[in-house]
């Protein structure tokens, strides 16, 4: 029976066992299709897409969401159509295509508002915030996340509250609000300890580590990064682990250990390449450029910075573009005020390496 396979997959998914869950979803989907049960196939496709997205397989996930989206039209399921739109947006956001992601989020948001679906609205606010952060507007992201947080707290939805807190931690850090960042991440960590959500806890550990890194507390940062990596390894995550590996590389950069930094940047890049994360590629190039600067190979560093600038311009990553021009400027003893133009309170020390938030 496909239902039995589907419920087994759901159980595995709830335990963050994504690979075995996916195998059961695939078996269930085949049986639903063989029996002509389109509704069962629809629910299965959306669940599969969610799991594939969690595994960083954005292209495969997008295909499932798109197929589900078409089925929602046939079956006249507007709520699931909005869910599929949201999923497509999250995949595109994960690949760095934040402008395209926002189009999907806005369509889904219109439905959730009309249907007075408060839970759906809170989720889409969280999703939109992530897209705006990718676009270099962390203050806009913080505004949306606070709205989502208020809704989730009213609903007493602990899991969604935790993810909002994690997102607030990240948006606050890149906005230069390090005290707020650490506070949000610690609060999220305590909440996920209570709920037992391993992914959320790992994400909060990485965030706490990055907040400590911005304060120059590198030992504390490393301790938290390692806690995050252990959990990510257990659950098979390559999306968030990529950024944790990059953060370790950045910490080694700040400790003037470019060889160690390069090792972690390259490990992160392998994951960015697998997921098709263009924003991740920019961070890799920025990290490696700083390694070359520390090796006194400035011409190589300039080439990497130029490539990073090209990608960040092409995809509209305003904050990452700012990192590019700031490092390039410091290399030539020139100053830039691009952070203040974005409304970000990031103070540049005036010397390299740049501790990228």
C-alpha dihedral sign at 319, 323, 324, 328:
positive
Give the chain's radius of gyration (CA, Å).
21
Q: What is the mean pLDDT of the chain?
A: 96
Can you list the domains of the chain with their CATH numbers? 1-91 (1.25.40.10), 238-357 (1.25.40.10)
Which residues are CB-neighbours of 184 under 8 A, at least 6 positions away? 165, 166, 168, 169, 172, 207
Burial call 32-50: b when 16+ CB within 10 Å, e when fewer: beeeeeeebbbbbbbbbbb
Contact 241, 215 (CB under 8 A): no
- pLDDT at res. 336: 84
Distance CA 172, CA 290 (A): 24
- pLDDT at res. 337: 84
Straight-line distance from the first to the last Cα atom of the chain, in angstroms, rounded to the nearest whole number = 50
**pLDDT averaged per 10 residues in sequence order, the chain, 357 residues:** 94 90 96 96 97 94 98 96 98 97 98 97 98 97 98 97 98 97 98 95 98 98 98 92 98 98 98 96 98 98 98 97 97 90 89 96
- pLDDT at res. 328: 97
Distance CA 60, CA 52 (A): 7
Tens of pLDDT, residue by residue over 192-240, are: 999 999 999 999 999 999 999 999 999 999 999 999 999 999 988 999 9
Phi-psi region of 80 (alpha: psi -120 to 50; beta: other; left: phi over 0): alpha
Distance CA 306, CA 327 (A): 11
Q: Which two tokens stand for residue 227?
A: 């806690």
- pLDDT at res. 247: 98
Q: What is the DSSP letter of 81?
A: H
Q: What is the DSSP letter of 117?
A: -
Contact 165, 149 (CB under 8 A): yes
Contact 251, 225 (CB under 8 A): yes
| ω into 356 cis (within 30 of 0) | no
């Amino acid at each position: 029976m496909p239902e039995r396979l589907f419920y087994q997959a759901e159980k595995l998914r709830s335990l963050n066992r994504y690979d075995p869950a996916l195998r059961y979803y695939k078996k269930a989907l085949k049986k639903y299709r063989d029996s002509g049960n389109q509704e069962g196939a629809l629910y299965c496709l959306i669940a599969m897409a969610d799991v594939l997205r969690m595994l960083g397989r954005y292209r495969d996930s997008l295909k499932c969401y798109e197929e589900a989206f078409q089925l929602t039209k046939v079956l006249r399921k507007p709520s699931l159509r909005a869910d599929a739109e949201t999923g497509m947006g999250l995949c595109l956001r994960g690949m760095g295509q934040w402008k395209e992601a926002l189009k999907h989020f806005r369509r889904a948001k219109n439905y959730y508002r009309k249907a007075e679906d408060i839970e759906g609205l809170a989720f889409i606010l969280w999703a939109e915030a992530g897209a705006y952060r990718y676009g270099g507007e962390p203050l806009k992201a913080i505004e949306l996340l606070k709205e989502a947080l208020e809704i989730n707290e009213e609903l007493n939805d602990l899991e969604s509250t935790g993810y909002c807190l994690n997102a607030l931690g990240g948006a606050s850090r890149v906005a230069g609000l390090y005290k707020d960042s650490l506070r949000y991440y610690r609060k999220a960590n305590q909440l996920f300890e209570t709920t037992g959500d391993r992914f959320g806890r790992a994400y909060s550990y990485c965030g706490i580590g990055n907040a400590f890194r911005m304060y120059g507390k590198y030992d504390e940062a490393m301790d938290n990064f390692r806690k995050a990596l252990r959990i990510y390894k257990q659950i098979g995550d390559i999306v968030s682990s990529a950024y944790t590996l990059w953060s370790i590389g950045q910490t080694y950069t700040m400790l003037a250990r470019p060889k160690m930094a390069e090792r972690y940047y390259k490990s992160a890049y392998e994951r960015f390449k697998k997921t098709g994360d263009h924003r991740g590629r920019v961070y890799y190039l920025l990290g490696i450029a700083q390694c070359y600067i520390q090796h006194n190979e400035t011409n190589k560093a300039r080439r990497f910075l130029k490539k990073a600038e090209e990608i960040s311009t092409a995809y509209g990553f305003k904050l990452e573009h700012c990192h590019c021009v700031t490092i390039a400027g410091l290399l030539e003893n020139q100053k830039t005020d691009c952070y203040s133009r974005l409304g970000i309170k990031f103070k540049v020390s005036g010397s390299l390496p740049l501790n990228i938030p």
